[in-house]
Structure formats: C-alpha cells, structure tokens
Amino acid sequence: KQEVTQIPAALSVPEGENLVLNCSFTDSAIYNLQWFRQDPGKGLTSLLLIQSSQREQTSGRLNASLDKSSGRSTLYIAASQPGDSATYLCAVRRGETSGSRLTFGEGTQLTVNP
C-alpha cells in the first residue's frame, strides 16, 4: 500500500526566504506526482505535475524535482511571499489509466510572514 509522507508538517518563514518542502513515498512504481496548494476552506489548486520519466518541472518561482528510485520529491519555492501562505500537498498516482487513484500526503502548512 502506497504511503506518502510530507516533512515538515508546518513551516513559518520570513518573506523573501527560499524554502524546500519534502515529499516521500514508499512505492516507487508511480506514474506521476502532483503538487497542490490548498488555501483554508478551499479546494486544491494544481501547481506542478511531474511524470515518472521526468526529473523536474518549473513554473515561475516554483520548482519541483522527482527522484523516483529513492521515493522522494521536493518543492522549491524561491523568494517566498505572504501570498504563498497555504497548505501544500503532494500526491502520487500509480497507474496511467482511469481507475488509478491519487494518494495524498498530509501536507505542509506554510506561513510566510511579512
């Protein structure tokens, strides 16, 4: 059974700092990994999707890396801003076809202080 762990559970940083969020998974046989952001009481917003054949993906100040063999992914946020405050979730998907679910981590709650 796939298990996804995110460390740290919570993080508080001053504005402008670069930071790294970690995600690990127990079964390396994944199809892709997706990072999401969730604001309080809201749904999930997709940030980055990395296919199992890829090593990293970038979008603006965000960079996600994937090391499938070691079961790890990191989300790097550059020059953090107060608007980045949210819970960040990673999720892995085993299969490429419909019927294969996402398995989520518990999330990292990020607070960026002005």
Partner 1 sequence: KAGVTQTPRYLIKTRGQQVTLSCSPISGHRSVSWYQQTPGQGLQFLFEYFSETQRNKGNFPGRFSGRQFSNSRSEMNVSTLELGDSALYLCASSLVRFAGGRVYGYTFGSGTRLTVV
Write out the residues near partner 1 by the rule CB under 8 A: 32, 34, 36, 41-46, 49, 89, 91, 93, 96-107
CB-wise, 65 or 103, nearer to partner 1?
Answer: 103
CB of 106 to partner 1, least distance (A): 5
CA–CA separation, 23 and 107 (whole Å): 9
CB-wise, 13 or 22, nearer to partner 1?
Answer: 22
> Residue 12 CB: number of other CB atoms within 10 A?
11
CB-wise, 72 or 93, nearer to partner 1?
Answer: 93
CB 80 within 8 A of CB 13: yes
The sign of the torsion formed by the CA atoms of 73, 39, 107, 110 equals positive
Question: Minimal CA–CA distance to 112: which of 6, 18, 23?
Answer: 18
CB-wise, 33 or 77, nearer to partner 1?
Answer: 33
CB 78 within 8 A of CB 60: no
CB of 17 to partner 1, least distance (A): 27
CB of 59 to partner 1, least distance (A): 12
